Structure 1
Amino acid sequence: MKLSTILLLIGCLSASARGYTQTLTINEKDAPISRVFREIKKQTGYNFVYFDSDIRSTQRVTVQVHNSSLEDVLQLCLKDQPVTYRIVNRSIILSKKNTSSFRQNAAQDSAKRDVSGRLITAAGDPVWGASVFIKGMSKGTQSNEQGRFRLPNVPEGAVVVVSYVGYSTLELTARFQPDGAVRLSGGSVSSSSGGDVTIIMQPATRQMDEVLVVPYGTQSRSSYTGSAVTVQSEQLEDRSRPSYQQSLQGNVAGLQVMEATGQPGAAPSVRLRGISSFSGINTPLYVVDGVPMLTQEITTLATSSNSGAGINPNDIESITVLKDASAAAIYGSQGANGVILITTKKGSAGRTKISASANYGINQMATSARNKPLSTEEMTSMLVEGVVNRQVNGITTPEAAREYLVSQGLNPDVNTDWMDVITQTGQYQQYNLSASGGNEKTKFFLSGGYYKQDAVTRGQWFDRKTGRLSVNHKASKRLSFNGSMNLASQRLSTVPAAGLGQNPVRSLYRLVPWLSPYTENGDYNPLITHNPVIVQNENKYETSIYQAIGNLGAQLQLTDYLSAESKLGIDLHYSDDYRYWSPLWSDGRGSNGRGAEYSTLWHNWTISNLLKFNKQIGGLGINATVGQEAARRNLKRVSTQANNFAAEDLFTLSNASEPYVAWSYKAAATLASYFVNTSFNYDQKYYVNLTGRRDGSSRFGSLVRWANFWSAGAAWNIDKENFMMNAGWIDRLKLRVSYGLSGSQLGDYYGAQGYLLGGNNYMNNPGFIIAQIESGTLTWEENRPLDIGLEFEFLHGRLSGAIDWYTRRTDKLFQDMPVPMENGVTSLNFNVGAMKNYGWEFTLNGQVIKPRQAGGFEWNSSFNISTQKNKILKYQDSSMVQGVYLRAIGGDFYQYYLRGYAGVDPETGEALWYTNASKSATTNVFSQAAAFKQEGKSALASFFGGFTNTFSYKGLSLSTLIYFNWGNQIYDTWGQYTQSDGSGGLSETAQMSRMTYENHWKKPGDIAQYPKMMYRGNQSGLAGQSSTRFLYDGSYIRLREVTLTYQLPLRGRITEAVKGAQIYVRGNNLFTYIRDPYLPYDPEVGIDGILDQNLPISRQFAVGVNLTL
């Protein structure tokens, strides 16, 4: 007789058992009794334990109840059936009527011992409320708040079942030991002298009834008609990255996260399913606990600042990425580019749980050896070739050329390693402490964190302090309140991205090695116009950011099916940028030091009011939300500058004697919204979702200020159909489709208004000029996304995933178009563009190797890949060249348009270019080269994704994440300077790249990538000018993360104080495969594909410890 245990997992909102007072809503007609058992398990978390043979003779049942008690449902279900039931803790034990059961026979066994121990998670946290019972018997118990349990009178050989919602069920065999102890074979079990055992519970992999965080509430995955991915806290915590956004890379299909700079704390470039606007907003909407978060640039000068870095990733419970029309429509004009919902951690009833973590590590350049600056000897050898090739002063031998170079100022005895001067091995450290707990009425979560990271270039760093408090209070049976506040302080030292001189990274690849940063007496070398050491030591580029993000809400349960909610959210950001240019630096030399200070204040608020209806009427379930929302954003900027400082070490502007500039700016924008979101389900098989929203924005003129948005979605749970009941290997199979209309606002608060600009003088009198004329017809961009998806889960959760095809068309795109100068302005915004994005997304999760026993070897994998295409459908002209791109109808937005580099003539070593787009003819004269559309070469990747593997055995766990980005092209804007082929001569910035050194032409017959060296020559072709010579394949595969974790075994009395302890080592960006062998730099750049020699990506190594008290 085979014993079966049906364990169905549900999400957190329905996970905790609340005793027999729980109510159930079930609508099953003529269904097998096992299906009803599954539904009871889903809604209550109770396990069913029974013999297969005992229910084999049961009859099909019809159960249609609404808000009925567990016992009432069981009695109805088992009426006139040959079985009876008994509830033991969290288990419902079924037995055949009037027969002897296994448990009665087992009770007569005299060889029995007690089993006691403790249940913990892999992180060391106690598992409270888990069911522990003997398989086939009514004996059972629950673990207490410390995770401890005691199971008396266990027969030898009995199977002890341990189950808890959200974790894999364990079946452990009791083996008696000669010393009187009991060993539970097959688990991650350790025994103390007292015979206690410690059992590690592993999270379940099944997602059948995962609860999703959705706009303005939660919803089970099985009922959701849209496309959504959830990232749990385990993938965010204790990472050596300051921003949660960076941890999303490779973990969410369709979400592209690119770090265009290695500046710590910088905002990555984030795009969800492509780009939707030519000049408007392309970033997703971030919502923290229901409050939309500011994602625009929050500082004036520090362009690498990031408001998202003010949220401690350790405070995040989960992140849900909503991709389709359902998310876009409910948020109206804010959700056109997708929505990222951030849910922070909350307290739970029980003892106060204290968690502490610390980690420390180092940062290095991820691809430093790829383009290490040339030594003096390497550089000299190239210049010698250039002198001989050009026959400068009739020189034809290398010896004479070397003498000539020395006579012109090259010092062979100086060999400065600019990599060592400018870069460093930076340090990283992070500390977190949190406390949570409460009772059934009031729950709290309190945390604090500190993060510090040095950049890989000297003088640049990021420092963050965070604090968070969350409180939930149930004032009465129907009324509850909640509130939270996140405080953060960010400080960062950066360098300007623009220009050559102030960016040490650009100096790194351009300064020649025979110059030293210092003279023999220790002064700064005056021969270097833009000495990077002065930038790092004397200038100041510091920014401070202070943030407060909070909300206060109330919920009132009006009836069993009707509730009301209100919430006030605030998002405050104040930043102070300070810049100081020393008198030793070129920008401050003529003014005896120059200082500038810029302050920026964002204060934003959002108010929302909701009325929710949720009712089951027979087989029809109805869920509706009606809401109103109002939001306002306020911006104020003030800047001042001054010259002539009294002393070099007194940096405040009050120490300068010459005020230079004073300027201020204020702006505000408001948004008013009304919306309704409804969902219907029939028999929990068929789901329909309808959403409508009306938005009014102050950014548009009064005639077009209001717009209506909507979405419709449908889902079919195929696995619930009767014809699928015999397919036991299918756990979940859902087909869904959604379509809708959303809008996008102008990024400029006053982009549609006409206004004058003051501060202009006419005949020594202040006056105004026309800054912008009104565009009364400028209206919302319109976004129409369509998504068709199939979700599946097979083999009892061992294999799951999703397939999505999407397309989204955007019309009425904003474009700045020229107008006659007689209007007083030269251009004006119009709605004239259209384009679409489309592609496929695949996600596959699998338990490759399932442990045969608890703590045995386990291997879990997750893979996702996304394709993306972009096509311009309408443009102001049929085509237009903008920078290095061709914006043409039928092409994509980042299609390259450049002169075609044809390589090197093997006989002469001269550079060649194509003279036509068909590439049928070449020339060695650059002015004769043709610029044309580079077919198949775009900044947009063809596909990207991630591959995660986790291997665990007992207390050890090894996880890896591989990220890949394939098929895009990147353009090096500085290539014409760093690959000058000797034309720079001996000037201070004439350094040439290692790629040129290793791959240039030297003698007739050479098949080379780069032309011959020509000292101070133009090669009759200006090889350094803009062309596809500096266009590279941006494809790469990166070992993004490797983590080795060990769960320390805790025994004896230490477990009274320490509930869990974990140590780990982690590495980030350990290895990068770069497809293009000639690409000099790290291939990870922004969405536009521009390689701008920003701060390089870092490789990180860290060690850490986590404690739970």
Structure 2
Amino acid sequence: MYKILLVMAMLCPLFAFAQNNRNITGTVTDAATGETLIGVSVVQKGTTNGTMTDVDGKYSINVPENSTLVFTYLGFNTVEIKASSSTIDVKMQEQTRALDEVIVIGYGTQRKADITTAVASVSAEEWENRPIMSAQQALQGKASGVQVVQPSGKPGVGIQVRVRGATSLNAGNDPIYVVDGIITNDISNISPSDIENMQILKDASSAAIYGSRAANGVVLITTKRGAKGKAQVDISMYAGFSNITKNIKTLNTKEYYNLMEEIGLSVDRTNHNYTNWAKEMYGTGYQQNYQASVSGSTDKTSYYVSGNYQQEKGVISPAEYDRFSFRSNISSEVTSWLKINTNMSFARNTRMDATDNANSGRGGIIMSIINTPPSMPIWDVDNPGQYATNPYQSSWENPYAQANTYDKNREYRFMGNLELDFTILEGLHFKPRFSADFTSHTWDKFIDPIKTGYGRQANGRGEHADDDYLTWQSENILSYNKKFNESHNFGFVGGATFQRYRHNNAYMSVEDFVKGTTYETMTLNMANKINNATTSKDGNSLISYLARVQYDYESRYLFTANFRTDGSSKLYHKWAYFPSASAGWRFSSEKFFEPLTNVVDDAKLRIGWGRIGNQGGIGSYDSYDKYNISKQETSGEGPAVTPGKLGNRDLKWEKTTQYNAGFDFSFFNSRLIAEIDAYYKKTTDLLLETKLPSSTGISFPMRNDGEMVNKGFEFNLNGKILTGSFKWDANLNMSFNKNKLSKLGLTKRIYTANIESTNDDIIIVKEGLPLGSFYGYISEGVDPETGDIMYRDLDGNGQITPDDKTVIGDAQPDFTFGFTHNLSWKNFTLSAFFNGSYGNDIFNATRIDSEGMFDSKNQSTTVLNRWVRPGMITDVPRAGNLQNSWASTRFVEDGSFIRLKSLTLSYNFDPKICRLFAASKLNIYGTVNNLFTLTKYRGYDPELSWTSGNAAQLGIDMGTYPQARTFIFGFNLTF
């Protein structure tokens, strides 16, 4: 008997469990369309007990009686239901109140509705079906106040990002990127498919928490995490091809001979060879991308693991780029008071370069295609295995020889961090974090000793460089958030950060190689002569203290204050202080606004002020004198040491102070959302290099010497124009920015951007002018009697001298814009993304060498209209006069454009079809990038920048590698 009682006693807890728990099943659908929703998270409130809906929208979960089920799905309002029956079907409403979104800010998160600063947000949904190669491309045209320019169409080229204009001449103008808490200047290692969202901190009051590195804005990148429920496998792939959209026609052999004789050069008319260099060199490029990820969450741990491979081959050989990347994001709740978060990524990038933005004599492959004589063959008929040389300029290689130069960059990069999250009290957290960013970069260049003329001169040339970069950072952050009396919300963040940077470089240049050496076999020890060999190292440190206080009353009155102080080893005056404050007023919550709430459901005023700093682009030791070390012939005395670059013992921070005012509106239950901002941004103590006479023999010292102003207006509109079975969403953003260099100290004028053919500096940097001001003569057309360009005599002395030069153009646009449409019907979606700029000028320096007619270069067919006889009316001057190609308004063109950047048609398969192969979602799409461009610009591409490293050298086209039209097909598959 006692055995029976014992068994019953053991079973009692099970009976009790069975009686208290209930298995709940049901189906989740879209309330608007009735379609089932796949992957909806169903969780018992207050626990980690959860599941997800299957391909039919069904779920099953075992929970205690009277518990609450929480249904969450991206883009839909959260639903909470009591578990009062065994079958619960749920209809979810599409989320329309976008202001309820929680976004990432510096060292924390905040509800978008409570933001008091200028913050733009870009979600992964906006590029999910738009193939992109880099994360910066995802920002293009998507956020007001953020100008993204692809300065060249070469694969793997760096993207230029400007947040509310350039603020510096020499200290750098790129924003900093914070990837899951890791601060970096380069995000080329990140697969866009790994990104969940990006927030851009545009004004000083939002970015001041990052202090010294925030003068040019901050881009916060959050990568993907595992969601609650079963494991999810995502696979995506796309592939496509590309070709150029425009070609510059050049003279054929007969037309070329006629021009050469006009110039006064002798030609061999018995040579009837004709090589169409554009046809020979421009080919078909291709892109391919493969991404696989596994994500999910257990009771205590969430995980996301992914691998990616991308490759892009350009329309001109040998330009090519590929990237392998791996990412692992893991979060674990060790105890109720400790969580551990880790993020690790590894990438290998390889890029084969093809020189552009240079004339044909400097290896510019685009200019070589235009300028190489058409009478030249590709190969030398008298010397097999050698590329033909230019009969007029033996040092100028033909395009095939230019492309034969081996120029390869390879980079291995690791980024990782470890964060501990200690819950000290409710709402009080201490988060120590350690991160490391290590890059190993190698560069190899080899010029063949046989095929190319330049290589034959030295029997082959080779260069090699190794660079190691290490940045580690330790952050210790204390945060506290508390709500009092259901009305008062208070938040505090405080902490200290420490950063250390190290760089090591080794470089060697050699020539005279072993016979038969090729780039596949080349090592530097195979050369007989060392031209140069150096090693170098540098490093710097940064220590910072930060604090932020946030308060709001009923989300109606909002206030935020930041303070940060930074100490940099780069500067003699190491410390600077960066405060900011911002406030918001949700006046739509006031009683006087009640009559308008049926139209305007949310309205908020924001104002802010802040000061942020910059010291990023200067050298680690610019405060100190530097010396040149050179080898001496006599040994035993050591090398010669001579003065090099002067230091500046008064060097201090470059500071930017910014004011911002904005309005946020939400109309018709968030069917239309508007964000409007106006700002004034002034940079003082500009860090720039002083110009000294070359006779001094000493390089320029760095000094604080100038002021710059950016002021502007921007707005962003998001609209759900149509809802229901046919949906139409649209976004329009526009940015108006005015830039002016308001003060220069010691050096009142700086000339830069030299054009080698005419030895003209075509950019002037001067007080009162914006960056990118073109400088030259005013052309008044071709004199019908002489055939020469008539330049305006500004000083009236009867002669054309350099004193007649003036400002002839401005590379700064009046405004930039992005415009997106998403049209959806049933399972089809058509997305069109336009971007462009208006009011900017381009200096088409390509035309100096393609329409100048002053030497043996081939020219464009435009010169067929050149002046040849007195009385002829034309806009193309006569041949043979270099003076006609002086920098002037003749070469300044309107750079305004509007481009259909991306057009995508996608199809989402019915879940029932996906179920046949055990998938939950399948999407296929086709995309055309750069389908068409509307512009008056005569060059290859109006979207350009001569050099991304110099803030003043804007809008110059000197043989820029053109962007291609790309056709891509791909799919996204989820299991």
TM-score normalized by structure 1?
0.76
Gap runs ≥5 in structure 2? 1-21, 44-49, 61-69, 80-88, 753-761
Asked if residue 894 in structure 1 is aligned to residue 772 in structure 2, the reply is yes
In the alignment, what sits opposite 1:862? 731
Asked if residue 631 in structure 1 is aligned to residue 499 in structure 2, the reply is yes
1:887 Cα deviation from its structure 2 partner:
2.5
Indicate which of 303, 319, 330 corresponds to 1:460: 319
SS in structure 1 at match of 2:685 = strand
1:1099 Cα deviation from its structure 2 partner:
1.2
Contact 1:411 1:514 in 2 (8 A): no
In the alignment, what sits opposite 1:931? 805
Change in 2 beyond 3 A, CA 1:167/1:342:
closer
Contact 2:106 2:207 in 1 (8 A): no
Query: Whole-Å Cα distance in 1 between the matches of residues 660 and 35 of structure 2?
Result: 38
Asked if residue 127 in structure 1 is aligned to residue 4 in structure 2, the reply is no
Indicate which of 377, 383, 386 corresponds to 2:259: 383
Change in 2 beyond 3 A, CA 1:1061/1:200:
farther
Change in 2 beyond 3 A, CA 1:631/1:123:
farther
Which amino acid in the other structure matches residue 827 of structure 1? F
Change in 2 beyond 3 A, CA 1:850/1:1009:
farther
Aligned length: 898
SS in structure 2 at match of 1:515 = coil
SS in structure 2 at match of 1:750 = coil
In the alignment, what sits opposite 2:9? none
1:163 Cα deviation from its structure 2 partner:
8.3
Asked if residue 450 in structure 1 is aligned to residue 301 in structure 2, the reply is no
1:591 Cα deviation from its structure 2 partner:
2.5
1:631 Cα deviation from its structure 2 partner:
0.5
Change in 2 beyond 3 A, CA 1:774/1:541:
closer
In the alignment, what sits opposite 1:17? none
1:825 Cα deviation from its structure 2 partner:
3.2
Query: Whole-Å Cα distance in 2 between the matches of residues 276 and 598 of structure 1?
Result: 32
In the alignment, what sits opposite 1:372? 249
Query: Whole-Å Cα distance in 1 between the matches of residues 598 and 200 of structure 2?
Result: 31
Deviations 1:109-161 (A, max 9, x none): xxxxx996877999998232479xxxxxxxxxx99432545699xxxxxxxxx
Asked if residue 428 in structure 1 is aligned to residue 287 in structure 2, the reply is yes
Contact 1:143 1:149 in 2 (8 A): no
Query: Whole-Å Cα distance in 2 between the matches of residues 200 and 1046 of structure 1?
Result: 24
Deviates more, 1:119-128 or 1:247-256: 119-128
Contact 1:868 1:943 in 2 (8 A): yes
1:674-713 maps to which residues of 2 (within 5 A)?
A: 674-701=545-572, 704-713=573-582
1:657-1056 maps to which residues of 2 (within 5 A)?
A: 657-701=528-572, 704-726=573-595, 727-745=597-615, 747-761=618-632, 765=637, 766-818=639-691, 825=698, 827-851=700-724, 856-876=725-745, 879-883=748-752, 884-906=762-784, 908-916=786-794, 930-934=804-808, 937-981=809-853, 983-984=854-855, 987=856, 990-997=857-864, 1000-1001=866-867, 1007-1011=873-877, 1013-1014=878-879, 1017-1018=880-881, 1022-1051=883-912, 1054-1055=915-916
Change in 2 beyond 3 A, CA 1:658/1:698:
same
Change in 2 beyond 3 A, CA 1:948/1:199:
farther
SS in structure 2 at match of 1:309 = coil
SS in structure 2 at match of 1:627 = strand
Contact 2:119 2:206 in 1 (8 A): no
Indicate which of 556, 569, 579 corresponds to 2:445: 579
1:1050 Cα deviation from its structure 2 partner:
3.8
1:903 Cα deviation from its structure 2 partner:
1.3
Contact 2:37 2:56 in 1 (8 A): no
Change in 2 beyond 3 A, CA 1:443/1:150:
closer
Query: Whole-Å Cα distance in 2 between the matches of residues 829 and 150 of structure 1?
Result: 67
Deviations 1:22-49 (A, max 9, x none): xxxxxxxxxxxxxxxxxxxxxxxxxxxx
Which amino acid in the other structure matches residue 126 of structure 1? I
Contact 1:719 1:725 in 2 (8 A): yes
Change in 2 beyond 3 A, CA 1:858/1:145:
closer
* RMSD (Å) for aligned C-alpha atoms: 3.2
Contact 1:373 1:508 in 2 (8 A): no
In the alignment, what sits opposite 1:103? none
Change in 2 beyond 3 A, CA 1:737/1:1026:
same
Contact 1:580 1:594 in 2 (8 A): yes
Change in 2 beyond 3 A, CA 1:523/1:150:
closer
Deviations 1:461-482 (A, max 9, x none): 1011111011000011121000
Contact 1:118 1:148 in 2 (8 A): no
Query: Whole-Å Cα distance in 1 between the matches of residues 629 and 35 of structure 2?
Result: 61
Query: Whole-Å Cα distance in 2 between the matches of residues 200 and 484 of structure 1?
Result: 36
1:1000 Cα deviation from its structure 2 partner:
4.0
1:871 Cα deviation from its structure 2 partner:
1.5
Contact 1:832 1:876 in 2 (8 A): yes
Contact 1:119 1:143 in 2 (8 A): no
Asked if residue 1064 in structure 1 is aligned to residue 925 in structure 2, the reply is yes
Contact 1:732 1:794 in 2 (8 A): yes
Contact 2:775 2:805 in 1 (8 A): yes
Asked if residue 641 in structure 1 is aligned to residue 509 in structure 2, the reply is yes
1:1083 Cα deviation from its structure 2 partner:
4.4
Asked if residue 320 in structure 1 is aligned to residue 199 in structure 2, the reply is yes
Deviates more, 1:820-829 or 1:757-766: 820-829
1:495 Cα deviation from its structure 2 partner:
2.7
Query: Whole-Å Cα distance in 2 between the matches of residues 259 and 1052 of structure 1?
Result: 40
Contact 1:614 1:624 in 2 (8 A): yes
Deviations 1:635-688 (A, max 9, x none): 111012222222223212232233332211100010000010111111220011
Change in 2 beyond 3 A, CA 1:977/1:611:
same
Indicate which of 944, 954, 964 corresponds to 1:1084: 944
1:562 Cα deviation from its structure 2 partner:
1.1
1:760 Cα deviation from its structure 2 partner:
4.6
Asked if residue 348 in structure 1 is aligned to residue 222 in structure 2, the reply is no
In the alignment, what sits opposite 2:759? none
Deviations 1:910-961 (A, max 9, x none): 32111117xxx898x8658821123xx2111111011100111000000011
SS in structure 1 at match of 2:100 = coil
| Rg (Cα) greater in structure | 1
Change in 2 beyond 3 A, CA 1:760/1:705:
farther
1:604 Cα deviation from its structure 2 partner:
0.5
Gap runs ≥5 in structure 1? 1-87, 91-113, 132-141, 153-161, 172-197, 296-306, 393-404
SS in structure 2 at match of 1:630 = strand
Change in 2 beyond 3 A, CA 1:202/1:409:
farther
Indicate which of 161, 167, 175 corresponds to 1:270: 161
1:517 Cα deviation from its structure 2 partner:
1.1
In the alignment, what sits opposite 1:254? 145
Change in 2 beyond 3 A, CA 1:1054/1:639:
same
Contact 2:326 2:347 in 1 (8 A): yes
Change in 2 beyond 3 A, CA 1:506/1:622:
same
Query: Whole-Å Cα distance in 1 between the matches of residues 513 and 218 of structure 2?
Result: 48
1:33-432 maps to which residues of 2 (within 5 A)?
A: 126-129=38-41, 144-146=52-54, 148-149=56-57, 166-167=74-75, 204-237=95-128, 239-293=130-184, 295=185, 307-366=186-245, 368-369=246-247, 371-379=248-256, 383=259, 387=262, 408-410=267-269, 413-432=272-291
In the alignment, what sits opposite 2:968? 1102
Query: Whole-Å Cα distance in 1 between the matches of residues 59 and 360 of structure 2?
Result: 73
TM-score normalized by structure 2?
0.87
Which amino acid in the other structure matches residue 968 of structure 2? A
